[in-house]
Chains A and B, each alone.
Chain A
Amino acid sequence: MKNFIKTGEPFIWLTGGAVAISLIMIVAILLLIMKNGLGFFWPSDIALLTLKNNEKLLGQIVNREAIPQPGAEQGTILKYRIQLKMGNRDIYGLDFKWIDVEDIKGIDYPENALCLERREWGNMYGFVKELKIDGAVVSVADGNIRSALSSSVEKYGELHKRIVFVAKKEIGQINYDMERLRLKIRKLELEYGKENPAIKERIENISKEIEREKGLYEKKSLELEELYKKSREAVILMSTADGREKEIPVYNVVRAYMPNDMGYLKKTGIYISRLWEFVSDDPREANTEGGIFPAIFGTVMMVIIMSIAVVPLGVLAAIYLNEYARQGTLVKTVRIAVNNLAGVPSIVFGVFGIGFFIYFIGGAIDKLFFPEMLPAPTYGTGGILWASMTLALLTVPVVIVATEEGLSAAPREWREGSFALGATKFETIWKVILPSAAPGIMTGLILAMARAAGEVAPLMITGVVKLAPSLPLDWNYPFLHLERKFMHLGFHIYDVGFQSPNVEAAKPMVYTTTLLLIGVVVLLNIFAIFIRNRLRKKYVSSTF
């Protein structure tokens, strides 16, 4: 036995086992998230359940589990229940229902069961009866209703796009301009005094511009009203499983399909279109439906701003610590402090961010540059800039440590060689040592980005919101709006999963958002690793 241990064989198994366990756990996490998340977009079949009391229910079966029987004797036969997504929240009041398998008389999959994904009230399951435009019946259930339905859904989808464009882009732009002009007047009044004749003419000019914008606004609201009127003209008459009828405006429908009558190819089409909607669209229904594009955008942009801030700060600090500071107790203490900073709970940084960045610096910026906005804060409230700065502070120890490692890995011979050629210390650091440390710096940045992208707690108090009205980057001057609040995938997971009014419906969204967050982090890392490898090739390569 002793000899067996001495051979090292068990040790190899032990070490290999540790690696295997880690790998299995990682793979298991990914599989779990993928299984729960990716299945969400699949248009599964619609079941028509007939219960023993002759009640009829229509919906998608989403879950099946054993009914817990506390205190039951061993050997008791397990009973099962299924969870049905019934949709039709406007009729039933709830989307999901648990049904004991015992109570079911029969399950049927009628070919003409229709699923309507709506902009409001969630999904609707039922049977289509008529399609009406302006009160006149265009198509009935046994006719060519399917093609009529899909073409009118498409047509009103275009209308929806147009309405969003007019309401958000065009009218939004007018509002934005009007607000800017109003602030201009206020700024002039603040600067020169209210009744100062010197600015009278300028204020009059601005007022005229405001009037012109108002005229534009009237015109656009009329157009919008016209469009809204149009949006109400087409309706679908639906009947539910229990025979109730309801009219749904076609405008309200995002997607209409009959999954029981579709092959795999068609279902895959729906799947892809829903997946695309998820990554490219704005959220609907308190974030439980629609897409999460603003959150992806916010996460990526925040990480980029953080990287721009953290790299120079960390690299400069590391250069001082490693190259210029006299190595002694003081530097050692600073180094330990920096390392410990990485272990400080992130919410502490959040508190610091709100106290220092937002109230102190942001407040000062507001007083100096945006007095016309006061008392409404511009930079004196949470925003993407302050959130990024807070995270930069949180991750700067990582960059410092990695950079210092890279710098001290540069052998003394390089320094001596450079000095012997008449280079100063600055030239040596800048031209020889720092380039050779570049891959190390990138490693630090990769770690920092991974940490920053996943951090939620400090963001909650420095600028993340559950629904941001506009992206921090748009076509309005100055294009980059660093003071704006933003959405973030990590916070979105928390908000959707645990703050949502409709938890059951949001559950799959939690997994899909998680998957996306992992995806974003992986993509950012791959990008950074790609740059690091290029730097490595450029500056450092092996001896042979």
Chain B
Amino acid sequence: MDISFKIEKVNAFYNNTVALKDVSFDIPEKSVTAVIGPSGCGKSTFIRCLNRMNDLIPVFRLEGKIEYDGMDIYSEEIDVIDIRRQIGMVFQKPNPFPKSIYENTAYGVRIQGFNKKETLDNVVEASLKKAALWDEVKDRLHDSAFSLSGGQQQRLCIARALAVEPKVILFDEPCSALDPIATAKIEDLITVLKKDYTVVIVTHNMQQAARVSEFTGFFMLGELIEFDNTQKIFTAPSNKMTEDYITGRFG
């Protein structure tokens, strides 16, 4: 299996507070990698490093190297806009724009300069189908995105991310604001998406990590404690702390 992200000795800081300590591991391509850990362990910081979303925080600083597809994404020559186009992201809370369902899906394509109606129509339909939302919204594409339920809004956000044809999709606790049925739908979607995309998912729901992922990394206090096959992590973890966490002794 090819490597998608190569993370080498990454340290991250907010001002002088250390958020990530010496993290190194590889994320394989076209698979689902879960990142678990207790609250405040740095897993969100970590996933936001992968598409440089942390750049938006002025006090954030990163040391070490993150390679994506062989390029150092923190090097000077890299166009951050281009990186974010290739590495899409879905957030914890559904965050559709205050626009119609159609315009939400077409947004990323529009800002790339495609404005022909035919192109947009095709992209919108294809993306909504991939996100398993098409059948539910095809008759009301021009309604406000806020008229959708929470789970539908989250799938719309996935469709929006898919529309710009990324290679990677990062999920930052995508189900924490959803009910079990909506969660199940998103999880099904993730298992389908992994055929074509590299998926990284942050979750603090361990069952979810076990259900959808092939690889799991366990973070604690900014450090990567263990990274391995999901099955191995959940059945025979090599670290005592991992075992304590997944058996529910703390966290």
**Residue positions of A touching B, CB distance < 8 A:** 411, 413-424, 427, 431-432, 435-436, 539-544
Closest to A420 in B: B89
CB proximity of B174 to chain A, nearest CB, Å: 13
Stretch of B61-69, B94-102, B181-189 contacting A (4+ beta carbons < 8 Å): B94-102
Residues of B within 8 A of A436 (CB): 97-98
Closest to A326 in B: B58
Residues of A within 8 A of B217 (CB): none
Across the interface, do A411 and B95 meet the contact criterion of CB distance under 8 Å? Answer: yes
A421-B164 in contact given A541-B144, A541-B146 (Cβ < 8 Å) = yes
Closest to A542 in B: B146
CB-contacts of B39-55 with A (<8 A): 51, 53
Closest to A424 in B: B81
Residues of B within 8 A of A411 (CB): 95
B84 CB contact (under 8 Å) in A421, A432, A542: A421
B85 CB contact (under 8 Å) in A421, A427, A542: A421
Across the interface, do B98 and A420 meet the contact criterion of CB distance under 8 Å? Answer: no
- Any chain A CB within 8 A of the CB of B236? no
- Any chain A CB within 8 A of the CB of B200? no
Q: Can you report 14 residue pairs joining A to B where beta carbons are below 8 Å apart?
A: A411-B95, A414-B95, A415-B56, A416-B95, A417-B91, A418-B107, A419-B56, A420-B84, A420-B88, A420-B91, A421-B161, A422-B111, A541-B144, A542-B146
CB proximity of A417 to chain B, nearest CB, Å: 4
A414-B98 in contact given A421-B160, A542-B146 (Cβ < 8 Å) = yes
Residues of A within 8 A of B179 (CB): none
A417-B98 in contact given A422-B82, A541-B146, A543-B146 (Cβ < 8 Å) = no
Residues of B within 8 A of A417 (CB): 91, 95-97, 157, 160
A432-B56 in contact given A421-B160, A422-B164, A427-B111 (Cβ < 8 Å) = no
- Any chain A CB within 8 A of the CB of B108? yes
Closest to B148 in A: A543
How far, in whole Å, are A420 and B56 apart by their CA atoms in the complex?
11
The 4 closest A-B pairs by CB, nearest first: A413-B95, A422-B85, A421-B108, A420-B89
Residues of A within 8 A of B111 (CB): 421-423, 427, 431
CB proximity of B64 to chain A, nearest CB, Å: 22
Across the interface, do B97 and A416 meet the contact criterion of CB distance under 8 Å? Answer: no
- Any chain A CB within 8 A of the CB of B147? yes
Main secondary structure of the interface of A (DSSP, over half): helix
CB proximity of B8 to chain A, nearest CB, Å: 24
Closest to B58 in A: A326
B106-149 vs A: 1/0 string, CB under 8 Å? 01101110000000000000000000000000000000101100
A413 CB contact (under 8 Å) in B81, B84, B91, B112: B91
Across the interface, do A435 and B98 meet the contact criterion of CB distance under 8 Å? Answer: yes
- Any chain A CB within 8 A of the CB of B204? no
Among the interface residues A419, A424, A435, A540, which one has the most CB atoms of the partner chain B within 10 A? Answer: A419
How far, in whole Å, are A523 and B112 apart by their CA atoms in the complex?
42
How far, in whole Å, are A414 and B95 apart by their CA atoms in the complex?
6
How far, in whole Å, are A427 and B96 apart by their CA atoms in the complex?
16
- Any chain A CB within 8 A of the CB of B93? yes
How far, in whole Å, are A416 and B95 apart by their CA atoms in the complex?
9
How far, in whole Å, are A414 and B53 apart by their CA atoms in the complex?
13
Across the interface, do B97 and A432 meet the contact criterion of CB distance under 8 Å? Answer: yes
CB proximity of A236 to chain B, nearest CB, Å: 69
Closest to A423 in B: B111
Closest to A422 in B: B85
Among the interface residues B82, B111, B144, which one has the most CB atoms of the partner chain A within 10 A? Answer: B111
CB proximity of B121 to chain A, nearest CB, Å: 19
Residues of A within 8 A of B110 (CB): 431
CB proximity of A534 to chain B, nearest CB, Å: 14
CB proximity of B117 to chain A, nearest CB, Å: 18
Known: A422-B112, A423-B108, A435-B99. 15 other contacts (CB 8 A): A411-B95, A413-B91, A413-B93, A417-B91, A417-B95, A417-B96, A418-B107, A420-B91, A420-B161, A421-B84, A421-B107, A421-B164, A422-B85, A424-B81, A540-B98
How far, in whole Å, are A427 and B81 apart by their CA atoms in the complex?
12
How far, in whole Å, are A542 and B81 apart by their CA atoms in the complex?
31
A420-B51 in contact given A414-B97, A539-B98 (Cβ < 8 Å) = yes
CB proximity of B33 to chain A, nearest CB, Å: 18
How far, in whole Å, are A423 and B82 apart by their CA atoms in the complex?
9
B76-89 vs A: 1/0 string, CB under 8 Å? 00000110110011
CB proximity of A12 to chain B, nearest CB, Å: 34
Closest to A425 in B: B56
B81 CB contact (under 8 Å) in A414, A422, A539, A544: A422
Among the interface residues A420, A431, A432, A542, which one has the most CB atoms of the partner chain B within 10 A? Answer: A420
CB proximity of A231 to chain B, nearest CB, Å: 64
Residues of B within 8 A of A422 (CB): 81-82, 84-85, 108, 111-112, 164
Residues of B within 8 A of A427 (CB): 111
CB-contacts of B6-28 with A (<8 A): none
Residues of A within 8 A of B93 (CB): 413
Residues of A within 8 A of B56 (CB): 415-416, 419
Residues of B within 8 A of A421 (CB): 84-85, 88, 107-108, 111, 160-161, 164
How far, in whole Å, are A540 and B100 apart by their CA atoms in the complex?
10
Closest to B88 in A: A420
Residues of B within 8 A of A431 (CB): 107, 110-111
Residues of A within 8 A of B161 (CB): 420-421
How far, in whole Å, are A539 and B100 apart by their CA atoms in the complex?
8
CB proximity of A409 to chain B, nearest CB, Å: 11
CB proximity of B232 to chain A, nearest CB, Å: 32
How far, in whole Å, are A45 and B82 apart by their CA atoms in the complex?
84
Across the interface, do B146 and A416 meet the contact criterion of CB distance under 8 Å? Answer: no
How far, in whole Å, are A541 and B143 apart by their CA atoms in the complex?
10
How far, in whole Å, are A419 and B56 apart by their CA atoms in the complex?
9
Closest to B160 in A: A421
A541 CB contact (under 8 Å) in B81, B95, B97, B147: B147
How far, in whole Å, are A275 and B182 apart by their CA atoms in the complex?
65
CB-contacts of B144-167 with A (<8 A): 144, 146-147, 157, 160-161, 164
Residues of B within 8 A of A423 (CB): 81, 107-108, 111
